[in-house]
Amino acid sequence: MEDNNQQLIESVVAKAQAWLTDAYDEETRAEVRQMLDNPDKTALIDAFYRDLEFGTGGLRGIMGAGTNRMNIYTVGAATQGLANYLKKAFADLPQISVAVGHDVRNNSRKFAEIVADIFSANGIKVYLFDSFRPTPELSFAIRHLGCQSGVNITASHNPKEYNGYKAYWADGAQIIAPHDVNIINEVEAIAGVGDIKFGGNKDLIEIIGEEIDDAFLTAIKGLSLSPEAIERHHDLKIVYTPIHGTGVKLVPDSLRRYGFTDIIHVPEQDIPDGNFPTVESPNPEVPSAMAMAIAKAKEVGADLVVASDPDADRIGAVIRNKQGEYVLLNGNQICMILLNYILTRNAELGRLTGKEYIVKTIVTTETIKSIADKCGVPMFDCYTGFKWIAAVIRDHEGTARYLGGGEESYGFLAEDFCRDKDSVSAISLMAEIAAWAKDKGLDFLGMLQDIYMKYGFSREKGISVVRKGKSGAEEIQAMMKRFRENPPTELGGSNVTIVKDYGTLRMTDTTTGTTTELDMPTTSNVLQWFTADGSKVSVRPSGTEPKIKFYIEVKGTLESPEGYDQAIADAEAKIEAIRQDIGE
């Protein structure tokens, strides 16, 4: 073991010393020297034990010097590789163009400007946003401006130490096959810093801003389904927080355009800040991130609390329970409420023609399928990540109408003029739903209970197990291997009847022993177990964070609002039993 450690240290030292040449700036060289001089080589190993991979979603990592870090050189190599591929893929175009955006994180503007410089140095026209913007607006801009690609510098809701690089294709969606593999090959072909063209051509960089904002918000306003209800309840008290992120640019404006007149801010969190100083984690699914907004809601007696994560693609929502307490909706509930509303209103307005569809991811609640089935609208399951929802939209372009789609991780997309999850439209529609429910004499809780009574009660819980660094990555691989080779036979007292392995695209019926093929566009490292009583457990390593994720869903019944608390208690007990069974 000591020999292996010594070999690893020798390897990373050699890689680090290559970063001490004049090809790298002095700030980078100083950081590398400090790691080399430190007797504790942990930081050096983490920074250099591998190259930060340009994966199917781009890059994401801790900022700093090193091959396994987000810095101007790893960002530069990614951009040069993408530029090289664009010039091959669109060789017949007289002018290739891209849109470039960024969030509020430390170094995001710097990285975005470097990306713009590299594209322009390669003869590619760049539309660069004048300041931070929500991720979905970048997706919209690609389509609106007729670009061939786009890049957004963001690490979404990751901790402040992280940054990321999302690459998009001409349809405004994050890149999938075959372009993903082709781009990865081009990035890996960058032999060194000398291959990267850092010297920008300012004549090819055009600054964009308010005109795109207006076009995007105008399109979002067109999604409104109940303007009359908003007129009647325009003064609903809505607390909104961007959690120091990009949502402050557009969300309040969108709510005003919808017709809401009492939008209450959390002033401390309106301040864009990549250090996210008022929260431990800038993630709206974490209760502590919503604490200040909830405090404001209690102060003013708010009807609804909504939030967006730092790059404003995810939505958080808080409602009042029957005791008057503010409680978080989970991502499954948010997705379910939005899709139920969109389907119901389209039916009421006579807009369902038989050519509509919705989408959810495989780890999202199955209650959504029950709603779609009863509405007579097809529902498609896809892998986690909005690039897969976008792929379904692309497959049905011109033949069927997309009504909406979402995933349990607080992402929703109500439109097809953008191809990534969008909190701007989702928050606007959630506020509209509050007005619509009030028209029916319901508060948000009553509406949620109504859904459960009509379509079946479900309760979900997500568990994330963090394992950092090289050893953590190896441990996650070992966990997946163990689950694959020894799947559980019983969960929460109910027999496992179906096992789905998306790594092999095989589904096994354990009651009969028969195996069938799963119809998916590619393989994915995801396992699912279904039980006789309707429970579903999914497990997968995160593609963007050092963690393995478990998704537990259990079923129940709700016959009246009075039984809601008991239904939750029963479901939570079953979830805990399942958690024990899987050892997490």
User: Which residues are tagged catalytic?
Assistant: 156
Best CA proximity match to 129, nearest among 254, 252, 216, 58: 216
- The Cα–Cα gap between 486 and 480 comes to 10
Q: Which two tokens stand for residue 233?
A: 């309840």
Residue 455: other Cβ atoms inside 10 A: 20
Angle of helix 331-348 relative to helix 367-375, nearest 10 degrees?
10
List residues bridging with 556 in a β-sheet.
457
Sole residue written with tokens 């990751």: 158
> Cis before residue 521, ω within 30 degrees of 0?
no
Tell me whether residue 64 is exposed, middle or buried, using C-beta atoms within 10 angstroms of its C-beta: 0 to 12, 13 to 18, 19 or more.
middle
Residue closest to 358 by CA, chosen among 299, 398, 403: 403
CA dihedral 111→116→119→124, nearest 10 degrees, is 160
Give helix then strand counts, H and E, for the chain.
18, 23
CA distance 81 to 192: 12
- Three-state DSSP at 91 gives coil
> Residue with structure tokens 């969300």?
251
Rounded Cα distance, 567 and 555, in Å? 9
514: number of CA atoms within 13 Å, CB side? 4
Q: List the Cα angle 520/57/277 in 5-degree steps.
A: 130
Three-class DSSP category at 306: strand
535: its two tokens:
């429970």
User: d(Cα 159, Cα 212) in Å, to the nearest integer?
Assistant: 29
* Torsion, CA 320, CA 321, CA 324, CA 327, rounded to 10: -60
